[in-house]
Structure 1
Amino acid sequence: MNLFPQAQCLICHEIIQPLMGWRAIFSEEKELIICPTCEGKFEKIQGEKCRICSRSFQFLDERFRHGDLCHDCERWEEDPEWKGYLDSNHSIFIYNDFFKEVMAKFKYRGDYVLAKIFVQSIKEFLRKTTPDFLVPIPLSNERLYERGFNQAEAVLIESVLTPTVPLTRIHSEKQSKKSRLERIHIPQIFQVDHQIEIIGKNILLLDDIYTTGSTLRHAAKLLKESGAERVQSLTLAR
């Protein structure tokens, strides 16, 4: 019997060397997902950060910080059309070059198994909050056909969590190609399924990357206008 079965890193595919010693033998067995080298390349957001969007203040010029808000969130909150819809966003990792490459494999090259990498972080966050619904940001039918799966929904499913889908996407243009101003002024990109009772509910949106916050705010605005009490979001990277 092999107490230490070999496992391959889901990212670099190198053999993961298990921890040795009595503590490893008698501790709860955990599935080996990624090697220490790849794990070390993920940078968690730590220290002071924006109260709303989780932007790290560590390397942010003071000109772009206003108390506990970053400049972008202050502009969102000064706009009466958007103020107060997204209560907060929590982002786990910094969107560095390594994360960008991992996400490209996951989203655009169809490497579904990479969803497993984020399971522990998702579960750790959900120990601190108890939303009524976990809502993955939906893709357009065109994007879903291209990718084969919704990456946000995949992470929830791999975490053995049940997604609720009260939103569908009605605007199919790629948001990543638009400027912040263009994203703000596009029409509502979602519609809500009124058969799902969201009045008074605490909702957690899930998406892969927080860029300008426009997509999440479109979703939050529609949900709150439809009766949701609170809308937060969790994104893998910022």
Structure 2
Amino acid sequence: MNLFLQDRCLICHELIRPSISWRAMISVEKEHSICTACESKLEKIEGETCHICCRPFIYLDEKFRHGNLCNDCTRWEEDPEWQGFLDKNISLFLYNDFLKEVLAKFKYRGDYALVKVFSELMKDKLIKMEPDLFVPIPLSDERLYERGFNQAKAILLVSGFTPSEIITRIHTEKQSKKSRSERIHLPQVFKLCQDLNLKDKNIVIIDDIYTTGSTLRHAARLLKGAGAAAIQSLTIAR
């Protein structure tokens, strides 16, 4: 532990105060790129959640719950065109106003330094998942040009993992401009980079936000069509 050099929070830019304790002095303190004030504004998803999409049941009216699934996932799984493609999504935090603003700075305003924050938050989960492939949700060429980087790929790289860029996106209007119904009924928005045989592969898809689940299911459907055995996803926000 270094008691004298102090870093600044990558979100609010305030000094990160070191922990002054005997435990901190005799142990290797985990690196932090955000202060405790900003960290406290991140709402961890905890407790009982939907078995597929990770939606917390505590915020869901009982009439919209069907056993271990939420109403949305029940509808996806009852649709023969979509059932069984996405096995499980894990999201770390609720998409509250604070996280919405931080993600906007990261994605749309080019604050690439924030990748360090998200890689620190996601790294432990990535290590535990141990799939055959980590597949970042791709951007279209137009979106990549606008933003300068793919946020999902960046998180994997900074976390020390190799992204498998095996799918590409067919350019469409921004997802954020579409209604829930429009997102769900989109034609396939991805294609395989080449004729791949993914037989029996376990794959984890990486994205920033789970909203309706449409984007992740489109990718999962394509990958399972190429032979993948199991598809999970990991997102920062839900």
TM-score normalised by L of structure 2: 0.96
Please say if residues 206 and 233 of structure 1, whose CA atoms lie closer than 8 Å, have aligned partners that are also in contact.
yes
Task: Indicate the residue corresponding to 1:120 in structure 2.
Answer: 120
1:90-114 CA distance string (max 9 Å, x none) = 0000000000010011001100111
Residue correspondence of structure 1 range 1-238 to structure 2 within 5 A? 3-194=3-194, 196-238=196-238
- 2:190 aligned partner, one-letter code: F
Quote how far apart the aligned CAs of 1:27 are: 1.0
| 3-state SS of 2:91 partner | strand
Quote how far apart the aligned CAs of 1:41 are: 0.3
1:173-218 CA distance string (max 9 Å, x none) = 1112112221222211000023554222100000000000000000
**Distance across 1 between alignment mates of 2:74 and 2:42:** 28
| 3-state SS of 1:44 partner | coil
TM-score normalised by L of structure 1: 0.96
Q: CA RMSD in A?
A: 1.3
Which of 112-121 and 210-219 deviates more? 112-121
| 3-state SS of 1:92 partner | strand
- 2:224 aligned partner, one-letter code: K
The number of residues matched between the two structures is 237
**Distance across 2 between alignment mates of 1:198 and 1:24:** 46
- 1:62 aligned partner, one-letter code: E
| 3-state SS of 2:57 partner | coil
Runs of 4+ in structure 1 displaced over 6 angstroms? none
1:135-163 CA distance string (max 9 Å, x none) = 00000111101100001111111101110
1:84-135 CA distance string (max 9 Å, x none) = 0001100000000000010011001100111111223322213432100000
Quote how far apart the aligned CAs of 1:38 are: 0.3
Please say if residues 142 and 172 of structure 1, whose CA atoms lie closer than 8 Å, have aligned partners that are also in contact.
no
Give ranges in structure 2 of 5+ residues lacking alignment: none
Quote how far apart the aligned CAs of 1:24 are: 1.5
Quote how far apart the aligned CAs of 1:3 are: 3.7
**Distance across 1 between alignment mates of 2:163 and 2:195:** 16
- 2:81 aligned partner, one-letter code: E
| 3-state SS of 1:134 partner | strand
Please say if residues 168 and 190 of structure 1, whose CA atoms lie closer than 8 Å, have aligned partners that are also in contact.
yes
**Distance across 1 between alignment mates of 2:222 and 2:128:** 25
| 3-state SS of 2:117 partner | helix
- The percentage of counterpart residues that share the same residue type is 64
